Amino acid sequence: MQKTKLTFWQMWNISFGFFGVQIAYSLQSANISRIFATLGADPHSLSLFWILPPLMGILVQPLVGKYSDRTWCRFGRRIPYLFLGSVIAIAVMCLLPNAGNFNLTFAGAMAFGIVALMLLDTSINMAMQPFKMLVGDMVGENQKATAYSIQSFLVNAGGFVGFVFPFLLAWFGIANVAPEGQVPDSVKYSFYVGAAILILCVLFTSLKVKEMPPKEYAEFHGIDLNRKDEKTPGMFTLLKNAPKTFWTVGLVQFFCWAAFLFMWTYTNGAIADTVWGTTDVASEGYQAAGNWVGILFGLQSVGSVIWALVIPKFKNIKTAYVVSLLIGAAGFASVFFIHDQYLLILSFILIGVAWAAMLAIPFTLLTNSLSGDHIGTYLGLFNGTICLPQIAAGACGGLVLKSVGGAQVNMFLVAAVLLVLGAVSVRFVKTR
């Protein structure tokens, strides 16, 4: 079948719902450590809470890929999963920031927060993965780099909005401090607004995008429909037969995602200490640092948006990957030396360069090495290269923090080293 080129706006519509999903994900990313620290968690145990999101991802996303590959109904193949995941995420977003408001004991509040976090990340993963699959399903190989760059743009734009919500609400007068053990209203209302935007964006993609029916899909991807009687291979068989690109890009992913897990975990404590001079989670300075972290993460997204437009200009995609990761490593290292909140903007813009590459390039490399058959399952399995490094980093984060002196800002040097190792690993990636 002749693969008709999609227009810019067709590719935009495919990924637009990701804008809303990313707002939810960014609110979670920027505020997990802040929420649990406010509830009373020890800094050395904060990384353990970060095990839950990737753990849910590694369980959920391969299943979404596997079953959506086999699904077809009048609503499509992938869209029913992203819609259901979004609805669940909206409900949980209204609960998580209220973990300290139900007159629970410390243990009860922590347990409530953990369960809510597990449900939130499960639903976000369920909503997130189909957008990556839709590009693989509907976009030809020669347009995938552009389509994933558009997706990266929307992801980072949504990230910016989600990250800056608490700062903006506090600026408009919403309370940014709360009684001990409770999350400030600026954070709570951010989650509520994010939930409303999420459902509107997902509805937009659900209504605007029409997935290919099975026969057209098979023709588009060159799949032989006469193989109906063949047994569908299991996930372990597919994993065993995965192309080499799957594993070599996965190695790069390991270093990159471990680095960013450390950033998400320790930025709030690091900035509160080095810029505001406090480690007291109930202090106004700590909560002000939490809001500023949202701004820094948001500006990281701005850097990512700009760099996502630059990536397609590189003649060699591996060169773009290496350059992006090294620039990000410089950004991480600079955080250790900078104690001015405004100079840190430059650091996080540089970090955003690596983030843009991480969102766009791995999926371009992988999907170009796959046929259309089982693409959803492979993309779900590939999510393990995102989740496993985060689980490993979360499990050993406390030990690493202790080994580098206990100051949370030191973890940014660790992250810089990890990104350099990721850049070196790109040389092992084989492209088709």
Task: Give DSSP secondary structure letters for 86-143.
Answer: HHHHHHHHTTGGGTTSS---HHHHHHHHHHHHHHHHHHHHHHHHHHHHHHHHHS-GGG
User: pLDDT tens-digit profile of 277-316?
Assistant: 998 887 889 889 988 998 999 899 889 888 988 988 898 9
- DSSP class of residue 275 equals T
Mean pLDDT estimate for the chain: 87
pLDDT band at 318 (very low <50, low <70, confident <90, very high): very high
- Please name each of the domains of the chain with its CATH number: 8-220+242-428 (1.20.1250.20)
Q: How many CB atoms lie within 10 A of CB 424?
A: 15
Tens of pLDDT, residue by residue over 409-427, are 999 999 999 999 999 999 9
Q: What percent of the chain has pLDDT over 70?
A: 95
Residue 136 confidence class, pLDDT cut points 50, 70, 90 = confident
Q: Which residues lie closer than 8 Å to 271 by C-beta, 6 or more apart?
A: 289, 292, 293, 296, 341, 344
**pTM for this one?**
0.74
Distance from C-alpha of 421 to C-alpha of 431, rounded to nearest angstrom: 19
CA 211 to chain centre: 24
Residue 64 in tokens = 């979404």
Average of per-residue pLDDT across 30-49: 81
Average pLDDT over residues 5-31: 90
Higher per-residue confidence, 177 vs 10: 10
**Which amino acid appears at position 188 of this protein?**
K
7-21, 126-140, 228-242, 403-417: least confidently modelled range: 228-242
Residue 372 pLDDT level (bands cut at 50, 70, 90): low
Given this model, what pLDDT does residue 103 score? 80
Q: Which residue has the tokens 């753990």?
A: 55
Report which listed range, 143-152, 217-226, 391-400, is most confident. Answer: 391-400
pLDDT in tens, 54-83: 787 778 877 887 788 888 888 888 899 989
Q: How does 164-185 read in b/e, with b if 16+ C-beta sit within 10 Å? A: bbbbbbbeeebebebeebbbbb
Distance CA 225, CA 1 (A): 14
Give yes or no for residue 230 having a pLDDT over 60. Answer: no
- Position 146 scores a pLDDT of 84
> Mean pLDDT lowest for which of 9-23, 209-223, 285-299, 390-404?
209-223
Whole-angstrom Cα Rg for the chain: 21
**More confident: 307 or 53:** 307
